[in-house]
Amino acid sequence: MQTQNNLLWVEKYRPKKIDAVTGNDEAKALFIEWLKNKRHNKKAVLLYGPPGVGKTALVLAASRELGFSVIEMNASDTRSEKAINAVAKPATSYRH
């Protein structure tokens, strides 16, 4: 396990709470509202934007604060249907 001393700077100082994620307040509020009410529908959410705007920071802070687990897939790592299904199918049957 990594200690705070040997983490990359971006990981060490990544926001730990939703309020610590700055910028794009409207999108942040919409995402948090969707996340809090996600059990009431079966829609998915897609966060998009250029690198460095805080998409991952928001997801990680929100999951930490609201008690969710994160399952991450990157297009560079997951390019086939088989690879996507290996990660995504188990996630769709997971109950929080």
d(CA 3, CA 27): 32
> Is the per-residue pLDDT at 96 higher than 60?
no
The token duo for 29 is 């509020």
User: Would you say how long the chain is, in residues?
Assistant: 96
User: Is the whole-model pTM more than 0.75?
Assistant: no
Distance separating alpha carbons of residues 75 and 53, to the nearest angstrom: 18
pLDDT in tens, 28-68: 999 999 888 866 565 677 788 888 899 999 999 999 999 88
